[in-house]
Amino acid sequence: MHDDLPREDMIAAIDRMVEELLHSAGITQPPVDAIALAQRHLGMTVILDQRQPQRGRAQRMMGKRQIFLKPEPREERHQWTVAHEIGEHLKSELLECLEIPPHEARAMIGESLANLFAYRLLVPTCWFAEDARTLDYDLLALKQRYATSSHEVIAWRWLDLTAPCVVTILDKERITRRRSNAWATRRQLLPVEERCWRIVNEHGNPAMLRDDEWTVQGWPVHELDWKREVLRSVHEG
């Protein structure tokens, strides 16, 4: 079965597992507090450890899973780490349901199963598709609703929806991530994307620009020592 399992089936299985987990925990709307979910519903212990060198690690003690977190300036990083560890905790159950041997899972899907789970736990498909349309894909409005998720995770989830788009993340004036769920893309920005990005970067406000073919929305995610901008581009042709 696993040799011919489409990626779409794997994603659908993760979405089902997330929905079942949220339902059993009595969570009916965002935001999803992954830390509270881990502790109250899954019986995990989450510990803030000043000596922790990496972002997070998990171990079992007396049959109980413990998650050690490195102190971070933003709560969203802790939420992502714990969501990822929940995915690791449930991975064997998911693979068993799909009849996939654990040693074949990584090669088949091409990325971390726990990462895929974390994206969908913090921004569940069962709510996000409708919310994104209702809020006109406004990143800042979606961030208010999915408060435990980072702007980047929310923006990257746009690529899992049926609406075609290009998502670009820029950090300190350099493209760090750029991908489309519909069209072939080049690494460099299109002229209209460049203009939109410069407005957002320089003024620190959201912007929208259009030309004959593209509509581009841009949002600032600016901090004291870091400037990030997020673009969502849609081909109108």
Quote the CA–CA distance of 120 and 174 in Å, as a whole number: 27
CB atoms within 10 A of CB 22: 20
Of residues 87, 39, 50, 45, the one with CA closest to residue 72: 50
Q: What is the pLDDT of residue 2?
A: 46
Q: Which parts of 166-225 are beta strand (E)? A: 166-171, 174-180, 207-210, 214-223
Q: Where are the domains of the chain?
A: 2-127, 164-235
Q: What is the pLDDT of residue 117?
A: 93
Q: Can you tell me which residue has the tokens 């899973």?
A: 65
Quote the CA–CA distance of 164 and 181 in Å, as a whole number: 6
Q: How distant is the alpha carbon of residue 141 from its chain centre?
A: 16
Q: What is the pLDDT of residue 1?
A: 39
Quote the CA–CA distance of 68 and 9 in Å, as a whole number: 32
Residue ranges of the chain whose pLDDT lies below 50? 1-3, 107-108
2-127 fold: Arc Repressor Mutant, subunit A (1.10.10)
Three state DSSP letters for 44-104: CEEEECCCCCCCEEEEEECCEEEEEECCCCCHHHHHHHHHHHHHHHHHHHHHHHHCCCHHH
Quote the CA–CA distance of 124 and 77 in Å, as a whole number: 17
User: By percentage, how much of the chain surpasses pLDDT 70?
Assistant: 83
Strand 64-69 versus strand 56-61 pairing type:
antiparallel
Of residues 63, 62, 82, 64, the one with CA closest to residue 72: 82
List pLDDT tens digits, range 24-45.
999 999 999 999 999 889 888 7
pTM for the whole thing?
Answer: 0.87
Quote the CA–CA distance of 79 and 33 in Å, as a whole number: 7
Which value, to the nearest 10 degrees, does the dihedral of the CA atoms of residues 16, 61, 43, 145 take? -60
Q: What is the pLDDT of residue 63?
A: 58
